Amino acid sequence: MTITALGERALIARLRARMPPPPDWVLTGIGDDAAVLQPERGMVDVVTTDALVEDIHFRRGWSAPEDIGHKALAVNLSDLAAMGAAPRALLLSLALPESLPLDDFDRILDGFLALAALTRIRLVGGNITRSPGPLVIDVTAIGVARPRRILRRSGAHPGDRLFVTGHLGAAATGLALRGSGVDLAGLDADRRACVSKYDRPDARLRTGQIVAHNRAASACMDLSDGLADALTQVAEASGCGVEILGDALPLHPGVLDWAAATGADARGLALSGGEDYELLFAVPKRRTRLFLAAIRQAGETTVTDIGVCTKERMTCVVAGDVRADLPAGFSHF
């Protein structure tokens, strides 16, 4: 059975039936022309949007519908995390091919709504339309933050250390593994972790919020299009340069395995590979201990010191005696 058998109104009713009762700050939720939300006193709204497009960001033949739903929300939560905002409300716009099985629709919502419940973000509205081509999941996420604690890309200063959370290159390796057609059931744990990082990334929400709350970083950005891209953007926005220690990059063990087996460039995957959804922080030297304490308090992941912000407006990576310009990140066009 496909979604066409039900039609738009029945699909919306099906979605509404699965939602928990709205909190009192949702003055008007799904079902009117627009949602009406009571602002939180003393807080500002932090608003972001990101769409997942079939065959660009995911393939229905590769990823389970639950994972596609999860990822559509996670990439937006990652943007809130990078600003230090707490998740609050969501809008979901779906463009669905007529041939989409109803079971896939339900399973996309399974992944989406499970992550929404876990991160306490409320779906307050949206739209369902027909797509003549790919499946598109377009999400708008609204977070709240104290105005003076927001983390921006533009706050870094020369001398600030650069830290990155977790490991790098895992999602790019997961994508390569999926593309290689290998039997995923036969993979070792490290490579399986790379595939699952690609299919089902998690946002570093607690880390972003606790670092922001403690004012422990001067700048932050999430790694959606790769570390090199994030470093370049933070440097440009902050009017400084960056010098990265190539040997310090925390490569995921699955990346090293994959590189050893195929001759792929592990460091290149870590620098240019997209979709890791880790966080890059600039941290003033005097805040380093406060920052590390915040990371421990968040308890989500480790951080690695990968370099420094410079006065000279260069973006380079140093390994031994070799100094090279940062490679470009993933570009959508």
List contacts with Mg ion (CB under 5 A).
79, 222
- From the CB of 230, what's the least distance to Mg ion, in Å? 8
Residue among 79 and 278 whose Cβ is closer to Mg ion: 79
Q: What's the rounded Cα separation, in Å, for the pair 37 and 178?
A: 41
Nearest distance, CB of residue 82 and Mg ion, angstroms = 5
Query: Tokens in use for 138?
Result: 């377009």
Return the DSSP state at 39. Answer: P
Output the smallest distance, CB 224 to Mg ion, in A.
5
Task: State the minimum distance, in angstroms, from the CB of residue 222 to Mg ion.
Answer: 4
Backbone angles phi, psi at 283, to 5 degrees: -130, 120
Cβ atoms of 279 and 164 closer than 8 Å: yes
CA distances from 45 to 52, 84, 148, 324 (A): 23, 12, 13, 40
Start-to-end C-alpha separation, the chain: 36
Report, in Å, the least distance between residue 314 CB and Mg ion.
23
Phi-psi region of 306 (alpha: psi -120 to 50; beta: other; left: phi over 0): alpha
Minimum separation from the CB atom of position 237 to Mg ion (A) = 12
- Mention every residue, 6+ apart, whose C-beta is less than 8 A from residue 114: 66, 70
**Would you say 79 or 300 has its CB closer to Mg ion?**
79
Nearer to Mg ion, 104 or 222 (CB): 222
- Residue closer to Mg ion by CB (options 79, 199) is 79
Residues shown for the chain:
333
Give the per-residue SS3 of 49-96: EEEEEECCCECCCCCCHHHHHHHHHHHHHHHHHHHCCEEEEEEEEEEE
- Phi and psi dihedrals of 128, rounded to 5? -125, 130
The distance of closest approach from Cβ of residue 78 to Mg ion in the complex, given in angstroms and rounded to an integer, is: 6
